[in-house]
């Protein structure tokens, strides 16, 4: 499961970098967008990027 955690961290880091560059004038809105994206992803895929479904 380490591969999924590494990939997820990389994706969130890239989202933060790009978000801070693109949304520079909005300040902390970038962190709100990243948090919202994380919540949506966890709602859609609660087992993680490379997790297997239970059962």
Note the pTM of the prediction, 2 decimals: 0.64
* pLDDT for position 1: 60
Q: 3-state class of 55 per DSSP?
A: coil
- What distance in Å separates the CA atoms of residue 20 and residue 38, rounded to the nearest whole number? 16
Write the pLDDT tens digit of every residue in 17-46. 888 888 888 877 888 888 888 888 878 776
């Amino acid at each position: 499961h380490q591969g999924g955690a590494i990939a997820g961290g990389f994706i969130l880091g890239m989202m933060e970098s790009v978000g801070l560059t693109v949304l520079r004038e909005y300040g902390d809105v970038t962190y709100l967008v990243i948090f919202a994206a994380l919540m949506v992803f966890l709602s859609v895929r609660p087992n993680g990027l490379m997790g297997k479904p239970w059962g």
